Amino acid sequence: MKSAAPFLAVVVLAAMESIQPVPIAAAISNVRVAGLSFSPRDLTIAPGDTVTFSGGGGFHTVRGDGAEPFCGSGAFTTCSVTFSNVGVYAYHCIPHQSFGMVGIIRVVEPIFSPLTLSVSGNGSVSPNLDGQLLLVGSSYTVTATSAAGSEFVGWTGGITASTPRLAFVMQSNLVLQANFVINPFITGNGVYNGLFNTSDDTNGLQSGSSGFFTFKLSLAGKYSGSLQLAGRKRPFTGQFNLDGHATNAVKRAASNDLTLELALDTGSDSGRVTGRLVDPIAGWAADVTGDRAPVFVGTNRSRFQGSYTIAVTPEAVEPGIGDGFGTVTVDAKGKLKLKASLADGTAATQSVPVSKDGQWPLYVAMAGGKGSLFSRASLATNPVATDSIEGRLGWIRTAQPAARLYSGGFTSVMDLVGSSYHPPGTNVILPFATGAILFDGGNLTTGFNNVISLAPKGKVANLTTNQPLVMTFTLPNGLFKGSVKLNDAGADRKLLFKGAALQNQEIGVGFFISTNETGPVRIQRP
């Protein structure tokens, strides 16, 4: 069998001949006089290029060593010479040759080599020089442009660079690759809200290292927002890299900066952000967790839309306080509004979006930032028999010497539970006709209870005649209030109480205010 090598050689030569070199314009090079020398002294050019000599000042000459044309034998100021033929051309300054004022022009045929240019990902490069024969040693520029939804991440191959515009000097058989990745901020942009705390457990809550943050993330990965710490808002800005990580300083006037480290979950549409907030001087690092606020368009609405009632009950008897309560509403766009009455008599309000999974970053600063409520709470759309809202809530109340209640302050861990609420219409607000209302703690010598009957339209009748009690329910929101008279260890007393009905749990929860503390109030089946 005859060898195929001659045939392959013909094919390769034919392919090479079909690739035409990128046209090269004639170049102009400059040689200037610097003292008693030419600069550059040794210059390489291509046939057809022009060399301009300058700086002669009428004091120097440019004379070729052979018969080649230069600037003649006379002194020059500026002159130009075009070199058409390949060769080596030496020249000198006639009066200063002995001082070493000489030079050389090398005219060589250009060397062309193919450029291999590829694209990884969704984007393009212009001009498209892939496979083109480029002049080795000459400079070229290409620009990478990402397609919609992608981002340029860098050049690899024979040259490594991070900017889309790449200026390079052609090398023999140069390989370049433009790399693009899917923009992680296409699905991740929006508003994020969350909490930070130095402990996963609310038992470790401290007002100086816990709080709330929010920021808005753009399609380009830039973000700006603020964190609420010790009663003050601290602004911050930054830029996520394409891996979803960012670090920036949080300025504090008259104090050291904090360091905020953030990480987005770019691998899915979870809308989750985690990280740390670090105080390098105080030596604490708080865990950061948050979620992107969902966006509802047209008829789409939050699955958590509706009305709720909540109870805030102490996990321990100390410091001996009643049960706080409140209402929560979530609108069609997922915006949650809290109105709570804490069991020390103070009000707490918040307005914040609920995440698509029902995460509620509950944070309320009180007493000028020295006190706070803190809970990573959650909402659910479970069947009626289970909680609609739940969480562990840390409550810091600062010492207030002039206050009637809890002047010494406290830090307490509370249970946060809630129920969806539906106005009963013509039905009873809780699913029993006869119930008991219980009072305990709150400076009472002993606890007591009354028997009550529940009627439609929120009406309540007292069935314990020796302890007069009046109370009413507000049907639109499920709250109740009332008063009871009793004889406590020989002393006649009148207690004012208030609370909320939790329909899922089939109870009412609240508190009454006594001498210097409050006590819990419960409405339940007898």
Taking the domains of the chain in order of start, what are their residue ranges?
28-107, 112-183, 186-292, 434-524
Contact yes or no for 77/62 (Cβ under 8 A): no
d(CA 54, CA 31): 6
3-state secondary structure of 396: strand
Which regions of 183-320 does DSSP assign to beta strands (E)? 190-197, 211-217, 222-229, 232-239, 245-250, 258-264, 272-279, 284-292, 306-314
Residue 523's CB is within 10 A of a number of other CB atoms, namely 28
First to last CA, the chain: 107
Contact yes or no for 356/271 (Cβ under 8 A): yes
d(CA 421, CA 416): 16
Place of tokens 């890299």: 241
The fold of 186-292 is Lipocalin (2.40.128)
Amino acid sitting at position 494: K
Q: Which residues contact 330 (CB under 8 A, 6 or more apart)?
A: 302, 304, 305, 306, 308, 336, 337, 354, 379
**Closest among 391, 394, 337, 374 to 211, alpha carbons compared:** 374
CA atoms within 13 A on the CB side of 484: 29
Amino acid sitting at position 524: Q
Under DSSP, the state recorded for 61 is -
Contact yes or no for 263/182 (Cβ under 8 A): no
Contact yes or no for 320/441 (Cβ under 8 A): yes
pTM for the structure as a whole: 0.74
d(CA 94, CA 183): 66
Q: In CATH terms, is domain 28-107 a member of 2.60.40.420?
A: yes
Under DSSP, the state recorded for 136 is T
Give the pLDDT confidence score for residue 508 in this predicted structure.
98
3-state secondary structure of 368: helix
Per-residue pLDDT for the chain (526 aa), expressed as one digit of tens each?
Answer: 344 433 333 333 334 444 555 555 667 889 999 999 999 999 888 899 999 999 999 899 999 888 676 888 789 899 999 999 999 999 999 999 999 999 999 998 888 999 999 999 999 999 999 999 998 888 899 999 999 889 999 999 999 999 999 999 999 999 999 999 988 888 888 999 999 999 766 666 788 899 999 999 998 899 999 999 988 999 999 999 988 999 999 999 888 999 999 999 977 777 999 999 999 999 999 999 999 999 998 899 999 999 999 999 998 766 689 999 999 999 999 999 999 999 998 999 999 999 999 999 999 998 777 789 999 999 999 877 688 999 999 999 888 888 888 888 888 899 999 999 999 988 999 999 999 999 999 999 999 999 999 999 889 999 999 999 999 999 999 999 999 999 999 999 999 999 999 999 999 999 999 988 999 999 999 8
d(CA 444, CA 488): 7
Contact yes or no for 62/54 (Cβ under 8 A): no
Characterise 518 by phi-psi region: left (phi > 0), alpha (psi -120 to 50), beta (else). beta
* C-alpha 88: how far from chain center: 63
d(CA 277, CA 475): 44
Q: CATH code for 112-183?
A: 2.60.40
d(CA 358, CA 327): 17
Give the pLDDT confidence score for residue 12 in this predicted structure.
35
Matching CATH topology for 112-183 and 186-292? no
